[in-house]
Structure 1
């Protein structure tokens, strides 16, 4: 991993994320919502889509506007489709608003026009050159002069806030918590406006978490008063996502809304971990620049997790496909380093019939398995011509002693840590002064005072250069090794 060298020799963490005004033109969308008699909210099956749906529902409930959440099952595929429009029409709704999806829903937009339903698309995914023929569309990425990197729940929050503001209501604590949860979980940059949303959500979760978050933390053995970005991204979010991956997103919706089925969700999460590890054990690296793994009837809900773990392991972009009996491959792709998946699949789509959508670093792709070899060759060619650039992380300082408890406690003002707001990172250089080992563990002592449990083999007298991150456990300062073989560069 590449790191920018910081010559400071004291604990130092200086980060500033100024909030920029969110003055998007939302008056038309708000007016359309107020003019509607009943509104269907069409979300997605992950934590961002579920949270987005609940944020909007919360606002509409406060305003007394009839509404209902519709969440697709993962087998139905991502995004609103004509059959969903027909179902919404049959249930008597005169408007539907999408959250966390819809920016490429061309067929659904056409179906809504024909059915006489007002389709309002709100999304945060990358728009294509042409937009669906919807009644109204809002996506921050269409406004190049403003902050664009909101999660789907961030977009829903902006709309809900404006709806309530126009009727002299305030956003609720639940809405802020849901927006903060999804902002951390959906791996959007935790800077500027996103960090502000995530921070306010974290503060409220620590004081009085909504039922679902409280129940998840209880079953996971965590205390909400000490909640961190790690807990949001690695404890809460995966359990909500497990419902949509292995059973139904409606279970995740009910968990967040009512706090029900927490134990069953905990079991689903354990099953998810087992399945991902099983598939990971079946894959190996190859000479391909862009790795593709195709499995018959692999649960679609875990392909993204497998791809993400494989990309990190092999340091290459990865696509994992689940093939059904008809030969259709439904896939998830994850990137490594600075590599634009959307551009890669745009290039492929010029030569092969595929459908794709998502983000620069995470995408969903569908294709026919008979085209697998051509797609592999095209992705290899594109990746060779546009190789991933390894991301450079900044060091926050240099450690010469174990930090004081008060110094590490001060880092909490920068929580939640996550994408583009990583945990504090410090350079530690020195000598291995002792090694204590048993059959299952190895304790490495550096400079006579820093102790680490490590897998790599070390001997007394070895010179080391580690990147470490301090944290607090049971009232004591501990150090987590982020990188045992860092490359320090001067810029």
Structure 2
């Protein structure tokens, strides 16, 4: 019997969220139960504008990366992008290659083909050096390639690492590193994809093409308050607040030399919101001997954002959408800063929106493919990608694949992409031909894209067959391993295809609810393995125990890979089995159903879609909303499906209307656990049922209690 768990929350919690963020009580209660109560977290559920993405220059070394790339452009250098074979690596390589080529850089790319290993390799570096190459940019790899980077440096090649994998204890030296997981990266959100990191680099390069790159500007306001005059200044550099100063309780006759203003404002462009009032206050504070050279921004901003034309700075603060989510607002200029950055974003959109629209479709795909947590800016990436694709503007390459996967002319969800499009693109890398996916995304000729799309779909069919074969070959030994080790499942099967070992590990983890490792051999000398984890065990940390046996290894907390000499394989098995004895896994109770909200029967209607859509996209760290309703009457049923475990389609009476419910694999429950005429309590998800273009609400039962 399953446990229904609905976390207790208080009316005050719900009321506070409703008042602060202007949301209804049902939405507020779901936020409270999911412990999404901080403004910086709620923002990414209530807002989807690109304005809310983090500034790329928050990466401490982003400016260095931009300058090095611009130098390469100016000097006509040869540049190589080094990517990976999975969806994240394919999309990263595509968008960076596309952008660098568009600005005139002599650019080529390299991704692992056939049985080539993940990450940088010496052969490619030597070949690039022989061709007079001088700059390598890695995407979705590189952070674990210290020796290879050192070799490149010896050959006079500079390296920029853009990656998102867990860094090793010893970072690569003599290179520029853009990786949110590096401890001193400066970036506020660690869990973005490799493609998102590449997109951040592109954003920074685009900003560098504008007039204000590396320019310090100052926003200034002076006013009279109850406690005397007050001066606020905020300094921005690359659209980031880097310094601020406030002087308050000022009386008449203050000498400017007695303040920090002269040094603070030296050599900067100074902008005001209301120039007349600000200069009047400054004159009353410092007298006529001091003159400030300022420029009023309000009229310029009003041309782009008309509603602000007649607002005072106080009113601007009150209406600032960003300020609503900022729990640490400390300056009277916060609203000014926010509207200035929004204004700048609008200007940039006019120049770059069409290109970003194409790139962000791939960034959204990468977030789903690499199972990034659907929190923070990942929500904007995925929602934006879905919005563009569903508007009929899918980018070249994706359009052809979506057509063959029968995903056009319907509302595509994150789940659709994860279960259909992403596996098809991944199949090219798994079967050693990732260049096909890059080609289809770059190819301008429609007929050629159609030819490539057919090849990709063919590879995906082959991938499915290889998974079936591998599943059959590994099932017996997997069962034996699980029974023996209990806390980990380890399978070594030398005859399965290298491209599906990650999928087999995922299947084993889902089946046994323990971390799983699948190993195969690509030849007589080299074995490769893939690990998938759960219940709190971190992959890279676990694998680090066996580092001396590996040729290389790396990855994320929940997924990682490695290679090693076949001669080390037996020793690795022994050490993993020994290590399994001391693994501590978090408890995982499959019988627990966590309920987001209890709904009266009258709430079960199309209005629920508004709530369900608000919390989209669903996936990692953002599970599908689960509701509970009580005292619903079964008025009819139908057994459906031709599989061994048939499904149950129920009709319930809510008192106002009939409610359709699907209960998958539960046909045996009717007339045993409940019958027609019974009143039941129901735990369920809400989904759209689309038939002949008509969209209706359908519940999917998770559990029923009579």
- TM-score, shorter chain, exceeding 0.5: yes
2: distance between equivalents of 1:140 and 1:473?
40
Match of 2:492 in 1: 294
Relative to structure 1, the CA distance from residue 414 to residue 371 in structure 2 (aligned partners, 3 Å threshold; closer, same or farther) is same
Within 2, Cα distance between the matches of 1:467 and 1:33?
54
User: Aligned residue for 2:423?
Assistant: 238
Q: Is this contact kept in 1: 2:86–2:426, CA < 8 A?
A: yes
Structure 1 residues 300 and 190, CA gap change in structure 2 (3 angstroms): same
Instruction: Report if aligned partners of 1:209, 1:224 keep a CA contact under 8 Å in 2.
Output: no
How many angstroms does 1:414 deviate by? Answer: 3.4
The equivalences for 1:439-478 within 5 A come to 440=643, 441-445=646-650, 447=652, 449-456=659-666, 457-460=668-671, 462=673, 467-474=683-690, 475-478=695-698
* 8 Å Cα contact 1:180-1:197 kept in structure 2: yes
* Separation of aligned partners in 1, 2:632 and 2:572: 50
Inter-partner Cα distance in structure 2 for 1:353 and 1:56? 31
Contact 1:121 1:138 (8 Å CA) reproduced: yes
1: CA distance, partners of 2:3 / 2:147: 44
Is 1:390 the counterpart of 2:588 in the alignment?
yes
Q: Could you say if the C-alpha distance between residues 65 and 373 of structure 1 is closer, same or farther in structure 2, counting changes exceeding 3 Å?
A: closer
Secondary structure in 2 matching 1:137: strand
Q: Which runs of 5+ in 2 are unaligned?
A: 10-24, 37-41, 45-51, 211-350, 444-448, 654-658, 675-679
Kept in 1: contact 2:138–2:160 (CA 8 A): yes
* Alignment correspondent of 2:109: 69
Matches of 1:349 and 1:107, distance apart in 2: 15
For 1:374, which of 574, 585, 599 is the aligned residue? 574
The answer to whether the Cα contact below 8 Å between 1:276 and 1:305 also exists between their aligned partners in 2 is yes
Shift of 1:445: 2.8
CA distance in 2, matches of 1:314, 1:123: 31
Once the two structures are TM-superposed, the CA of residue 480 in structure 1 deviates from its matched residue by 3.1
Q: CA deviation at 1:211?
A: 1.3
Moved more, 435-444 or 158-167: 435-444
Structure 2 residue corresponding to 1:363, chosen from 556, 560, 568: 560
- The structure with higher relative contact order (CA 8 Å, sep 6+) is 1
Residue 480 (1) aligns with residue 700 (2): yes
Give distance in 2, aligned partners of 1:432 and 1:85: 69
Distance 1:387 1:320 in 2: 19
C-alpha contact (below 8 Å) 2:53/2:380 kept by paired residues: no
**Are 2:531 and 1:329 equivalent residues in the alignment?**
no
Measured in 2, the distance between the counterparts of 1:125 and 1:432 equals 51
Q: Is the 8 A contact 2:92 2:140 kept in 1?
A: yes
Which one of 259, 278, 283 corresponds to residue 469 of structure 2? 278
Identify if the C-alpha distance between structure 1 residues 336 and 108 changes in structure 2 by more than 3 Å, giving closer, same or farther: same
Deviation at residue 485 of structure 1 after TM alignment: 9.1
The one-character-per-residue Cα deviations of 1:287-314 (angstroms, maximum 9, x if unpaired) are 2121111111321111101111110111
Q: Is the 8 A contact 2:535 2:585 kept in 1?
A: no
Structure 1 417/479 Cα, relative in aligned 2: closer, same or farther at 3 Å? same
Kindly provide the CA deviation profile for residues 160-185 of structure 1, in whole angstroms up to 9, marking residues without a partner as x. Answer: 00001111353612112111111122
Write the distance in 2 (CA, Å) between the matches of 1:184 and 1:325. 32
Aligned counterparts of 2:121 and 2:3: Cα–Cα separation in 1: 43
Q: Which residue of structure 2 lines up, in the alignment, with residue 170 of structure 1?
A: 352
CA distance in 2: counterparts of 1:11 and 1:461, whole angstroms:
35
Give a deviation string over 1:55-96, Cα, whole Å, max 9, x none.
212221332222112111151111011112112223332211
Alignment of 1:30-45 (within 5 A): 30-36=66-72, 37-45=77-85
Could you tell me how far apart the structure 1 residues matched to 2:360 and 2:209 are? 18
> How far has the Cα of 1:224 moved from its partner?
5.9
Are 1:141 and 2:197 matched, yes or no? no
**Cα distance between partner residues in 2 of 1:82 and 1:393:** 51
Where 2:195 maps in the other structure, the secondary structure is helix
For 2:371, what is the secondary structure of its paired residue? Answer: coil
Mapped contact 1:307–1:334 kept (Cα < 8 A): yes
Give the structure with higher Rg (CA): 2
After the TM superposition, which of the residue ranges 167-176 and 204-213 deviates more from structure 2?
167-176
Q: Report the more deviating stretch, 153-162 or 419-428.
A: 419-428
Q: Is the 8 A contact 1:339 1:389 kept in 2?
A: no
The match for 2:406 is 221
Distance between the aligned counterparts of 1:155 and 1:357, measured in 2? 18
Is residue 145–residue 172 contact of structure 2 (8 Å, CA) maintained in 1?
yes
Q: Distance in 2 between matches of 1:470 and 1:238?
A: 25
CA-to-partner distance for each residue in 1:15-61, whole Å, 9 max, x for gaps?
62445743223111100001112211111101100111112122213
The match for 1:24 is 59
The answer as to whether partners of 2:501 and 2:520 remain within 8 angstroms in 1 is yes
Task: Point out where structure 1 has 5 or more consecutive residues left out of the alignment.
Answer: 487-491
Q: Aligned equivalents of 1:17 and 1:363: distance in 2?
A: 31
Q: Tell me how far 1:202 sits from its aligned partner.
A: 2.0
Structure 1 residue 197 corresponds to structure 2 residue 381? yes
C-alpha change, 1:271 and 1:480, in structure 2 (3 Å) is farther
Q: TM-score, normalised by structure 2?
A: 0.63
- Asked if the contact 1:317–1:335 (Cα under 8 Å) also holds between the matched residues in 2, the reply is yes
Change (3 A) 1:246 1:224: farther
State the superposition RMSD in angstroms.
2.8
Number of paired residues? 481
Q: CA deviation at 1:191?
A: 0.8
